[in-house]
Amino acid sequence: MASERTTELELARYPGQTPSHISTDIEPQHSDPSDDIAGFSLPPTDGGKDAWLFLLACFMLEGLIWGFAASYGIFQEYYSTREPFAGSSNIPLVGACAMGIMYMDITIMFALLKYFPKLRAWATPIGLVIMCLALGLGSLSTNVTHLILTQGIIYAVGGGLAWTPILFYIEEWWVRRRGFAYGATMAGLGLSGAILPIVLEWLLNRYGFRTTLRVCALSFVALNFPLLFFFKPRLPLSQTSQSRSFDMSFWKCTNFLILQSGNVIQSLGYFLPAIYLPTYARSLGASGLESTVTLILLNAAAFVGSLCMGTAVDKYDVVDCLFVSALGSTIGVFLLWGLATSLAPLYIFSLAYGAFAGCNSSSWSAIIRDTRDKKRGADSGMIFACLSAGKGIANLCSGPLSEALVEAGSWRAGMAYGSGYGALIVFTGATALLSGWSFAAKRVGWL
């Protein structure tokens, strides 16, 4: 009976592998006969009510945690023109800290929760409390430094802690359709990014930033905490033994290094359109709402793109999928944004760029799969955390880079290339193109 339950759990978690090939941080125990009964009562993977409710919770957590940080452009425009922050420097640093640090601290949070597995059940509620506290304290800010500490750094710490348990749980609930599960989770950011800018702009213009941040803090409580009833592991800790060691050998894997480099290159330019599109739209004569539409369309398209990418990498080679993403992004930047002199082509660019560039993170599950094919003992959660850290480092670097590109001045060129954003557009397009260099690496035999 015990050996049957062990085989069932191993095959459910690692399809297509025999127990002798399995090297994981979670291995079933079978010393207690009562656990054998519990083993047969485990809910199914890749479907069923519990798996879908869990995925809904992941989708909502992704949308609310990351969507708020990704909508900082609305706050940035408000802070730059209203007291007590008008004219202050480092206002963009608030959003860069929120997104960049949250991407990076997932590595630390993953290590913490792996070493102390009993903390996983508490990580999300504690992280949500920290986030609410950060927004509440942010509403008391009187200078940009206060905003950086609260809406930036403290929010990022709480958000990273609240989100990280997904890395442990999603692999228990979704096995054969794991790419789809990650894609559906990442799509939460796209959907919230299409809705939140409208809500935030209305709140800021109507009630000011102090009330807006307090409303957001209360909304996090009301919308996130009910999800915790569905956000739970499939395998109880009593049925698993937790390895606290880390196998970092994947950093010696050529496959991982090439794909990680493409991830970092893409991230250097990926965040720039979301920051500067509203400003560029205003330079074309757009109103406040018309300029916000660029972000709405970009994030709405990213929602669709993430679902498509997550489904595609379950069926096709991730290198080919990333090449399509890079090619579509590059064409969109150079031909649509670069040649845009009115709102219509700028809106089309927002849709194209969101669909092709916004789906990049949904490919990470396939990068993890391919890396573990080369390095069996590698920890999939740590691979994801390192990919996230690479994106976060690039995000932080892109801020100073973008300021330097904008200050480079206007080019003697037509259309958007001569608008003062020419260098920024070319940089974004170049990073989009180079992000797909793994396609060439595969052709020469490096992959």
- Contacts of residue 361, defined as CB under 8 A and 6 or more positions apart, other chains included, come to 186, 306, 387, 391
Angle between helices 254-270 and 318-331 (to 10 degrees): 20
For CATH 1.20.1250.20, the residue range(s) in the chain are 51-232, 245-447
Is the pLDDT at 326 greater than 80, yes or no? yes
- Average pLDDT estimate for 326-353: 94
Is the pLDDT at 57 greater than 50, yes or no? yes
Output the pLDDT for position 359: 92
Architecture of domain 245-447: Up-down Bundle (1.20)
Output the pLDDT for position 414: 67
- Average pLDDT estimate for 7-19: 41
- The b-or-e profile of 117-152 (16+ CB within 10 A means b, else e) is beebeebbeebbbbbbebbebbbebeebebbbbbbb
Mean pLDDT over each residue of the chain, to the nearest integer: 85
d(CA 153, CA 267): 20
Neighbours of 221 (CB within 10 A): 13
The confidence band for 351, taking pLDDT boundaries of 50, 70 and 90, is: very high
Angle between helices 272-283 and 422-434 (to 10 degrees): 150
Q: Is 290 or 348 the better-scoring residue by pLDDT? A: 348
Output the pLDDT for position 238: 60
Neighbours of 344 (CB within 10 A): 9
Q: Global pTM?
A: 0.84
Output the pLDDT for position 235: 85
Output the pLDDT for position 445: 87
Amino acid at site 111:
A
Is the pLDDT at 243 greater than 70, yes or no? no
Q: What are phi and psi of 353, to 5 degrees?
A: -65, -40
Lowest-confidence range among 49-58, 126-135, 239-248? 239-248
Tokens read off for 347: 């809106």
- Average pLDDT estimate for 248-260: 91
Is the pLDDT at 345 greater than 60, yes or no? yes
Output the pLDDT for position 383: 93
| CATH 1.20.1250.20 for the 51-232 domain, yes or no | yes
Check the CA dihedral 303-308-314-318 and report its sign: negative
